[in-house]
Structure formats: C-alpha cells, structure tokens
C-alpha cells in the first residue's frame, strides 16, 4: 500500500529545512520513503528554500562541501526517530528483517551526495 501511494503521487519532493543539519536526516519516515523511492525508481527531487540555498552557496565559498558530505555520511536510520513510536518500530523492524540498516543508509547517502554534487555544480555554473 505504501509503495502504491508513492507511485500514485508520481514524484517525491524532498524539501530540506536546513542545508547542513536538516531534520530530514533524522526522521525515520523520511529516510525510509527516500529508500523506497530510489529502489522502486520513482522520480524524486531535492530542494532547498531560497535562504538555505544562499547559505549553501556561502558555505561552498568559504568551507567547501566537506561539512555537508560529513553530515550525509552520518545519516543512520537505526538512530532516526518518528513522531509516532509505533511507526518508528514498524519501519525499523521492516528494514531489519529486510535488507538491513547499512543498505538503506548507503542508498540514501548516495542519493543525497549526488544531489549535493549537482547543487554544487549548479552553484559553480551560476558564478
């Protein structure tokens, strides 16, 4: 049912509230949805609000991509939370009995790293 709802939506839109420490990276549902979309080949886009994109650009100028890359590498679904405890337990049980946290973490991290590289490339082209 979950995958059907994602497929019916036609696309997944991820809006990060912060470029460096988004709540998205710590939310079980968010990480799980991203994993399912990637595995099912559903279209997805990752966006930053305007102010956060400006902060992202500033970080690129002063510190480079290393802080963001480190944060992405620290994503860990086993430590993520859900606002409803039953959902968190269900998601983590499903992942543990399936492919495991390492696989989900790796797939999601690779997606976000690819996005950060595209965002950085876009930033360079705009300069």
Q: d(Cα 57, Cα 46) in Å, to the nearest integer?
A: 16
- Partner residues linked to 15 by β-bridges: 47
> What mean pLDDT is predicted for residues 11-34?
93
Q: d(Cα 108, Cα 20) in Å, to the nearest integer?
A: 16
CA distances from 49 to 19, 44, 46, 101 (A): 9, 16, 10, 29
Q: d(Cα 18, Cα 51) in Å, to the nearest integer?
A: 9
Whole-prediction pTM: 0.89
* Average pLDDT of the chain, as a whole number: 91
**Torsion angle of alpha carbons 62, 117, 73, 51, nearest 10°?**
60
Which pair of tokens denotes residue 116? 């950060």
Note whether residue 50 is domain-resident: yes
Note whether residue 63 is domain-resident: yes
In terms of Cα–Cα distance, which of 88, 99, 93 is closest to 29?
Answer: 88
Note whether residue 9 is domain-resident: no
Note whether residue 4 is domain-resident: no
Note whether residue 2 is domain-resident: no
Q: Which domain holds residue 64?
A: 14-126
Other beta carbons less than 10 A from residue 85's beta carbon: 9
pLDDT band at 1 (very low <50, low <70, confident <90, very high): low
Residue 3, pLDDT > 90, answer no
Note whether residue 3 is domain-resident: no
How many residues are present in the chain?
A: 127
Q: Structurally, how many domains does the chain consist of?
A: 1
Note whether residue 1 is domain-resident: no
Note whether residue 60 is domain-resident: yes
pLDDT band at 2 (very low <50, low <70, confident <90, very high): low
> In the chain, what percentage of residues exceed pLDDT 90?
61
Residue 40, pLDDT > 80, answer yes
Residue 68, pLDDT > 80, answer yes
Among 66-70, 88-92, 93-97, 119-123, which is the least confidently predicted range?
A: 119-123
């Amino acid at each position: 049912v979950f995958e059907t709802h994602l497929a019916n939506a036609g696309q997944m839109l991820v809006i990060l509230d912060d470029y460096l420490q988004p709540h998205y990276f710590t939310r079980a549902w968010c990480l799980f949805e991203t994993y399912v979309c990637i595995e099912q080949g559903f279209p997805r886009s990752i966006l930053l609000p305007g102010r956060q994109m400006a902060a992202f650009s500033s970080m690129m100028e002063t510190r480079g991509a290393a802080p963001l890359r480190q944060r992405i590498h620290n994503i860990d679904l086993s430590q993520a939370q859900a606002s409803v405890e039953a959902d968190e337990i269900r998601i983590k049980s499903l992942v543990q009995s399936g492919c495991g946290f390492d696989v989900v973490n790796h797939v999601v991290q690779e997606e976000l790293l690819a996005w950060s590289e595209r965002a950085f490339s876009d930033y360079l082209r705009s300069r």
